[in-house]
Structure 1
Amino acid sequence: MKLHVGCAMWTLARWQGRLLPHPLPPRERLAAYATWCNAVEGNTTFYATPSRATVEMWAAQAPEDFRFLLKLPKPVTHERRLAPEVFAPDGALHSFFTAIEPLGRHAALWIQLPASFGPTDLPTLAAFLSRVPKGYRYAVEVRHPAFFDGSRGERDLEALLTEADAEWVPFDTTVLYETPPTTDAEREAWSKKPRLPRRTRALTRFPVVRYIGRDDAELTAQGWQPWADITAQWLREGRSPTVFIHTPDNADAPVLARRFHEDVRRRVPEVEALAEPMPVGPPTLF
C-alpha cells in the first residue's frame, strides 16, 4: 500500500545545502528531491513546454514509482480555453504531448482552468476530454465559484469527470485564509490564491489533493488533519492518492510532505514507508 506525497517543485534555493546537497548539476536535482518525496507538481510546463531531451533527463532520474503531475500549457487552458483548435498538429498541445512522452506512466496531466471557466463551458471540457490521448491519467482543477455551491454546475461537472474517468483536483486554501497573514509570503499568497470551499470527494482510483498551509509548520500540520483522515480512508478503499503539501514560502515543504505521510501511516500502518533522504553533506568521522 503506497501513498504519494510531494511539493510544488523539486528545487528551491532555500533547500540548497539544508535539505538537498549543494551544488547539484541539473541531471541530479530531481533524483535528490526524489529521496525526500515520491511525487512532484510540474508547474513550469504551464509557462513553457520543455524539450524532449529535458524530459528524458527527468525520466532518467525518476524512481520506478515516482509520480509527476504536469500542468497543461497556458495557451491550451487559458488562452484557447480548450477550444477544438488546440488539437492542431502544429499547436502547443501536440508539442506538449510529444515532449512528455518519455515519462510514460509516471505522468498524470493537470488541467487547471481559469476562474472564468464556468458551468456553461462544460460542453467544451467534455469534448476536450473525449479527444485527448489515452494512456494518461487526467486531473481537472476548476476555480469558478458555481462549481462549489452545491448547484447543478457542481453536479454536472462531477458527472462529466466521472464519465471521463478524470479526477477533480481540490486546491485547499481554507487554512491559509483562516486567520490574517503574518509573513510577507503569506500576504502574497492572500493576493493570488483562490478562496473556495474545501472539497473532499474522490472520483477515481487516483485522487489528487493540493493543500496549502501557513509558514508556521504547526498550523500547517493542524490544518491538514482532515486530509490525513480522508487520505487514510481512500487507502483503505483501495485508492492510490497523491497529496501535495504547499506553504506560502515552501521553505520546509519536503519536510512537511514527509510529516503528512507519517501522519497517514499512523492511521494506516500498512502504508509503505518513504526512503531515507539523501545526506546533505559527506559523512564525517566525528
Structure 2
Amino acid sequence: MLYIGLPQWSHPKWRQWGITSLEEYARYFNCVEGNTTLYAVPSAETVMRWRAMSHDDFRFCFKFPATISHQAALRDCASLTQAFLQRMEPLAERVAQYWLQLPAAFSPQDLPVLWAFLDRLPQGFNWGVEVRHPAFFEKGDIERALNQGLHARGVNRVILDSRPVHSAAASTPAMVEAQRKKPRLPVHAVLTGTMPLVRFIASDDMPQSAGLFHHWINRLSGWSEDHNPFLFLHTPDIGEVHQIVTMLLPVLQRLVPDFTPPPAQPEQPTLF
C-alpha cells in the first residue's frame, strides 16, 4: 500500500483547499511527515489532541527531535529518546515510523554511533534514517556499509529527491531559500526496510517537477506490491503544494486509485 502525504497538515494558504486542521487534512491524505517534532517535543495535551483529530487508518512519520539527532548527535541521549517515545505513546498505533534526519556533519566515522543508537531502540516500531553527508552517496564501501547496516536492522533509508528544486531557475524568494537549504545530493533509491520513505522536493516549475517525478512511478508501484512506501510532496513555498498535487493527480490516482485531494475552494469576493 502506498501512502501519500505532505510535510505538515496545515498552512494559512490551504484555506483554498478547505484545510485548516489535522482533522480536515486526514480526510484526504492518509499520512503526514510530522516535521513539528524536529523542533520541539509536543506537550501531552497536544499529542492527545492529534489522536482525537486523526483516525485509525491515518499514519504519522515523526522526526526525532533535533536535540537527539543534531545537538546530541545520537550520543548520551538515552533519556531524551525515552522521554520522546513515551510522550508519543498515545499515538503509537498510528505512527508508521520514527526517523532520524541526520545533519551533513554526521559522517561515515560516526556509523558506530548510529548502530549503537539504533540497537538501543525498543522493538515493535519501524525506524528510518536520512543521511546527508556526501560520502554516503559515493558508490563504494562507505555507502555499502551504511546500506548493509540499515538492512540488517530492518531500518528504512529515507530517500530525498531534490533534483527539481536544484535544476530550475530560482525566480522567487522561496526558491532561493529552498536551493540554499535543501541538500543537493544524488538520488539513491535503496530499499533497506519495509517502509521506504520518499521526500520529493518540487520546484516552482510544476511541469518540470512532474517530468522528474516520472522516475518514481514504476518504483513506487513495484514497492507497493510487497511493502508500504510513503511519498511526501514538498514545494519551496509549502503553501503552494496544492499545485504539484494537482499536476501529479493523474499519476497519483494510477498509484492509489481512491486518492482524492480536497477540491479547490472558490475565492471569496472582497469589498475593496
- What TM-score comes out, normalization by structure 2 length? 0.91
In structure 1, the partner of 2:244 is 256
- Alpha-carbon displacement from aligned partner over 1:144-196 (angstroms, at most 9, x marks no partner): 00000102110000011011110000111111111321221101111111010
In structure 2, the partner of 1:164 is 153
Larger mean CA deviation between 257-266 and 127-136 belongs to: 257-266
Distance in structure 2 (CA, Å) of the matches to 1:275 and 1:100:
29
In structure 2, the partner of 1:52 is 44
In structure 2, the partner of 1:200 is 189
> What is the one-letter code of the residue matched to 1:33?
Y
Counterpart mapping for 1:6-85 below 5 A: 6-16=5-15, 18-21=16-19, 29-83=21-75, 85=76
Counterpart mapping for 1:92-131 below 5 A: 92-107=80-95, 108-131=97-120
Q: Are the structure 2 counterparts of residues 259 and 96 from structure 1 closer, same or farther at C-alpha, using a change threshold of 3 Å? A: farther
- Alpha-carbon displacement from aligned partner over 1:45-100 (angstroms, at most 9, x marks no partner): 111100122111111221222111111011111111111x2013xxx322211111
Distance in structure 1 (CA, Å) of the matches to 2:241 and 2:204:
10
8 Å CA contact 2:235–2:244 kept in 1: the answer is no
Distance in structure 1 (CA, Å) of the matches to 2:88 and 2:38:
13
SS at match of 1:9: coil
Distance in structure 1 (CA, Å) of the matches to 2:88 and 2:250:
31
- Alpha-carbon displacement from aligned partner over 1:257-280 (angstroms, at most 9, x marks no partner): 4764641443x5xx4512563885
In structure 1, the partner of 2:262 is 277
Runs of 4+ in 1 over 6 A off after TM superposition: none
SS at match of 1:229: helix
1:144 aligns to 2:136 (yes or no): no
1:186 aligns to 2:175 (yes or no): yes
**Which structure has greater helix proportion?**
2
8 Å CA contact 1:4–1:39 kept in 2: the answer is yes
SS at match of 1:201: coil
Distance in structure 2 (CA, Å) of the matches to 1:258 and 1:206:
25
In structure 2, the partner of 1:284 is none
> What is the one-letter code of the residue matched to 1:274?
F
8 Å CA contact 2:206–2:247 kept in 1: the answer is no
- What TM-score comes out, normalization by structure 1 length? 0.86
Residue 253 of structure 1 and its aligned partner are, at CA, apart by 2.0
Residue 5 of structure 1 and its aligned partner are, at CA, apart by 0.7
Unaligned runs of at least 5 residues, structure 2: 267-272
Residue 126 of structure 1 and its aligned partner are, at CA, apart by 0.5
> What is the one-letter code of the residue matched to 2:184?
R
Q: Are the structure 2 counterparts of residues 239 and 59 from structure 1 closer, same or farther at C-alpha, using a change threshold of 3 Å? A: same
Q: How many residues align?
A: 265
Distance in structure 1 (CA, Å) of the matches to 2:51 and 2:260:
19
Aligned-pair Cα RMSD in Å: 1.9
Distance in structure 2 (CA, Å) of the matches to 1:53 and 1:187:
37
Q: Are the structure 2 counterparts of residues 186 and 163 from structure 1 closer, same or farther at C-alpha, using a change threshold of 3 Å? A: same
- Alpha-carbon displacement from aligned partner over 1:90-143 (angstroms, at most 9, x marks no partner): xx3222111111111321101011101111111111111111122211010000
Q: Are the structure 2 counterparts of residues 52 and 280 from structure 1 closer, same or farther at C-alpha, using a change threshold of 3 Å? A: farther
Distance in structure 2 (CA, Å) of the matches to 1:242 and 1:261:
16
Distance in structure 2 (CA, Å) of the matches to 1:255 and 1:37:
15
SS at match of 1:181: coil
8 Å CA contact 1:231–1:264 kept in 2: the answer is no
